[in-house]
Structure formats: C-alpha cells, structure tokens
A and B are shown apart, each in its own frame.
Chain A
Amino acid sequence: MPEHKQLAVAAPALPVPDDELVRRVQAGNTEAFEELVRRYERKVYNITYRLMGNEQDASEALQDAFLRAYRFIDKFQFKSSFFTWLYRIATNVSLSKLRRREKVDVVSIDQPVNEAGDLPLEIPDVKYGPEKLMKQRELRAALQKSVEELPEDYRSVVVLRDLEGLSNEEVSKVLSLSVAAVKSRLHRGRLVLREKLASYL
C-alpha cells in the first residue's frame, strides 16, 4: 500500500501593513521601501498619467513622487494613511510640473475648446459589432482628452474621485481641501465634462 504523505498546506502569509513597512523604512530598511514602491507604483502612475496626460511627464512625476516619499518618510507621522500621504505627494508633484509646463506652452489648457475639433459626431445606436467597439474607443479617448483639458482644480478632484475611486474624505486629505470644496469642484468638473461629452451621454 502506497504511503500517503500528509501535505502540510502553509497558510498564506498576510501582507505586512503599510504602517509597519513605513516604520521599517524609518529604521533604515530599504527593502521595506521597495515593497511600498511595488505596492503602489501602478496606482501612482495612474494618477500622474491622468494629471500630466503623457507618458514622459507622468514617468518623471512618478519617479519624483517616490523619491520625495523616500527622502521625507521620516516626516511621516502616521496621522493619515500612507497611501493618502503618497497620493498627496504624487498629486502635488504632478500639479507643480504641470504649472511649469503651462508657463512655457503656447496653448493653455483653459483656452476655449475648438468646437469642430473636440466635439465628437453624433453616435448611432449600435449595440453590437466592431462599430460599437470603435465608438467605445472613441468615448474613452474623448473622456481622457476632456479630463486632461479640465482646469487644474477640477482635474485633480475628478481624477482622484471618479477615476481612482477615492472617497470625498480621502480626496480632501490628499488635496488639503474641505470636503465641501471637494464636492463643489467635483460637481463643477463633472458639469464641464458633461458639456464636452454631450454627444456621447
């Protein structure tokens, strides 16, 4: 009779909480910081890309955000969650770069939108097939472009709240705004987007 070995199934290790990783980094453990980077690199890239609008600038902002987080992690006092603190750094870095970029750009993002160029054509109601997929791609492109063209105050709130899914309270912490101000900017931003995307909605 074959001998059956009892296979010991190890319980999956629970992830180390962010705060514990931060404490380890503060104590000089660089591997703990690498774990934090692995944990948040994609989310932070999402924020920098959506705020900056292109890969090159988003990449620079991503690197700057993590560098600053590392250099200033001793200042982190656990009064907020680590991700809120990190998103705040990423948002501030992106907006700061954006302001510098706008100073040298000839075209301002606040410049009125060229109607013919920016408003998509009326979409026929096609439920299936390649036409629908194409229209969905058009909608996504139009959404992304319209978000990029939002004034900075509205854009940061819309990106964090509607695209990244943070709560109003979390956005208020990231941007150092009152919850009422977040709601107000979110409403205004959505109304602007709705105008720009009217033919899709």
Chain B
Amino acid sequence: MKKPKKQTADCHDCGEVEELIARYVGGDEDEELAREVLLHAQTCGECAHLLRSLKRLVHHLSLEPNCEMPAAVRRELWITIRREIHTG
C-alpha cells in the first residue's frame, strides 16, 4: 500500500491521499490504511477536513428516508401488473 505523503502544499491536489481517505471512509478494513490515514489527518488540516466531510456525507446519505410512493403511482403499478398477469 502506498503511504500517504506527509503534509505538503500539494498533498491535497495529487489525489493520492484523497483516494486513501475515500477507501477508509468506504469501509476498507485494512488496519495499516486506517493508521496511515488517521496519522496523516493529524498533521494535515486539509485532509482532516476531507476525512470529516466524507464521513458526514456518508452519514447524511445513510439517514435519507425512503421516498414515499404516491398512491397514484401504486395504483398505476397494480393496474399494469394485473392487466399483465390476468390477460397476458
């Protein structure tokens, strides 16, 4: 595994650390990855911000409620289904 770069002016631009952070947030359970990402985030404000914001994004997405299926949509669906299965 590539090690994240130490804090430099361009660490956020090269995309390399972003990729590692995204893997970490995405649930990659590689312990070395987690250690390196967290270590890097302690020394790099930009990457710490990226890490926090990605975690919040995933959290917000997971909280999104299901869409309510409108009654009219359900009615149309059942008309179509019953027409298909009863008349072929």
Q: Give A residues with C-beta under 8 Å from B.
A: 30, 33-34, 37, 41-43, 45-46, 49-50, 55, 58-59, 62-63, 66-67, 70-71, 139-140, 143-144, 158, 162-163, 165, 168, 183, 186-188, 190-191, 193-194, 197-198, 200-201
Of B23, B26, B50, which one neighbours A194 at CB under 8 angstroms?
A: B50
Could you tell me if B80 and A193 are in contact, using CB atoms closer than 8 angstroms? no
**A62/B73 contact (C-beta < 8 A), A139-B60, A201-B57 known:** yes
* A interface secondary structure, majority: helix
**A193/B23 contact (C-beta < 8 A), A41-B74, A66-B77 known:** no
Q: How far is the CA of A188 from the CA of B18 in the complex (A)?
A: 10
Identify the 7 closest CB pairs spanning chains A and B, nearest first. A187-B22, A201-B53, A162-B61, A30-B85, A59-B73, A45-B69, A63-B80
Q: Which residues of A have CB within 8 Å of B85? A: 30, 33-34, 70
Q: How far is the CA of A88 from the CA of B50 in the complex (A)?
A: 32
Q: Does B31 sit at the interface, judged by CB under 8 A?
A: no
Q: Does B76 sit at the interface, judged by CB under 8 A?
A: yes
**B28–chain A nearest beta-carbon distance, Å:** 8
Q: Which residues of A have CB within 8 Å of B69? A: 41-42, 45
Q: Does B25 sit at the interface, judged by CB under 8 A?
A: yes
Q: Which residues of B have CB within 8 Å of A66? A: 77, 80-81
